[in-house]
Structure 1
């Protein structure tokens, strides 16, 4: 009996965010019955694949309704899954419609049928086939059965570690970095015998560290190992740029993205992040070029829409920016950066309620991204709802605890709520993890100790702030600290110190300068007597 050729093997590519490929299945049952079924169903499978490629998913499933080979079962159930997902999207009412606020209201109605059929399959047919296991894991995750879904996806990846889509599905199910590390250990034990399998584990570990914003030697070591094996792989170069971006090293990130553009000019992946870098650095001409360049390649990519939106945002044309972010979300409703950045635009337009909705959708899309939680905190802070704001800032901080901005935001909330001692602790934590001595933080901590009537500690922080003039540069905070020290010395009757400090103040707003001059005149009069 002749088995179908390699060309007859089914290749299925899902066009939604989770790409799932069906290639040569090395772990499929090799018994005679399965081979016979696959042979007799080859024509129907080919027809179903054609319908699938034409996006006629219901027809593809219907053609295979009486087929029982694992290939036919997979394409039938997967077509049903995509068809149900498509209907769910169609039933939702607009990008920021009222119905979108309740994601449980609209669901994939084909999932119960898919789960039932998969669970009725014979044990060997399911547990020895990586593709059916992957699909089973996906629908379990969508049914909120995370624990079992993760176990099923783990089994699928042990059978076929080269299904990158399955790795991404598993990653999306993790709620914390500690949960991810448990599975990393399990994979390390399960895949330790094959070098090529370890490569896939390295890619996964690298992606896990990126998603959870982990900055450690491990991520650099993994990148170096993979770069040695794949020296010209643009994906790895983009990861280096993203690491620099997450560490706020915008200059280095810009250089790396420039190199990627030169080596792989038609690659649009991650260019929306590049546009964020140019936006922050206020390089409007370069951002304008990037927007035009991306539009020429493919103007209907979500990344392109985000780049153009960033350009309009930099030009303070916030309505146009929102229009392009909505266009990006029409193309891909799970575009995280579009939800988050659209929230920023609504904040600029003082539309806090729309901003909160955008940030909430970003959190629903990926609750592991600190930026959406931080944005929610900012939006509620604008509404003077500081308890809500505090909660969201704390969630952001739990995801990125080594970012001083998170601790500053929490400290500010505690200050507004009258929790001065807690506020001091947060600002001190921010100061501790800051790479450079932050004079703004030093002055802020000093003023809070003054509220607590701890004048001695206040004096020490003000002195530290003032002394940074010699290490860095004169700022408004160092001038305010110097003015506070001058007032303190005048209260102690040390008029020579008062005069020296006050007369040296030449930087700051008009109030600072006026008070410094008044103190200097008073000190001069006292000294002349």
Structure 2
């Protein structure tokens, strides 16, 4: 039983906490102890819950319910042997107590014995008049086993027993999504809504299913019904805004995102979407204003800094773009996307050394995209560092073997280093992998491409 917040039910909790402060031992009946322990566990105050359990069992040593709380704490603290031993003792005392089976299943689940946990929970089903929670627990165990159809079916049974268990509803849809059964999910939600027509969660989920199928008008109607059911449901306004964006109805999208700002503290996501909509509408001043609000609201949101940087790049105002990407990097020097943007902007400004540093940092942080390797090697060549460019490409070749773009570059670089044997080797590789890419050699190494040595090598093929 959950601890009530009514004033008369607060008295046992106040008395208990007063007792802890004064060390005066007061008497509580077992139900009061149960409420106190439940309250502390819900609050995550395990140490206080353990004190209440200890004192409770000193005053009521035969209470099975208090001992079950003790097993719950054992399980939470991964003392599974102790939990098992106590559960075995309790089973002898009350073999038809469903909670004993539930805690036993919790132990088995912690030990990764999920099928055995399911078997135990199914035994508990035969002992209970309230099956909803048990169906939900069985569903979770099937999820651990990646048996999504069985999980889905048990969450459905949970909803049949308790139609307002929205966590079970979310889990049903999660299973449908994993099984890529959008049509079946839509059928199920429509059937559920026939008996629960004002369930905002179901309307919201139905809208998301329609949106995933690009049935945007149906999605909008579903989100409207979610809002009618609960006009403070932020998620419905957000999803409706996203659909309106896809339909290029940017002013209406802004209206929905703006409503969310009045319902709860402004979120960086909503502010960013509003900024994006204003940018699409050509309202540059308002777009910048909301981009600023986005990064002010959440300075660590990389999407905000990237959006404002790209905004200035589109305006070809690379100095301002560089200013904002530098601010972003100062906040998070481990963000690969920041460094790649930093490199591209510096290249636009003809700051080649800084651009090379940007790509180098991106690689050091684990960005091994082919374009990153190639851009860095081209910059090193332009900076007069052919040896470093060659080493960079040899590293890239470990991730992208048999890649003509890498091989043609290596051929050109080795030729410029007068290492003709290696140049010939890589040129032959490049022609074998993709001869059409020879334009790389022509564009990046025009003098070498026109050289007699290369012409002779190509004739031999």
TM-score (norm 1): 0.44
TM-score (norm 2): 0.49
* Structure possessing the higher relative contact order (Cα contacts under 8 Å, 6 or more residues apart): 1
Which is higher, the Rg of structure 1 or of structure 2?
2
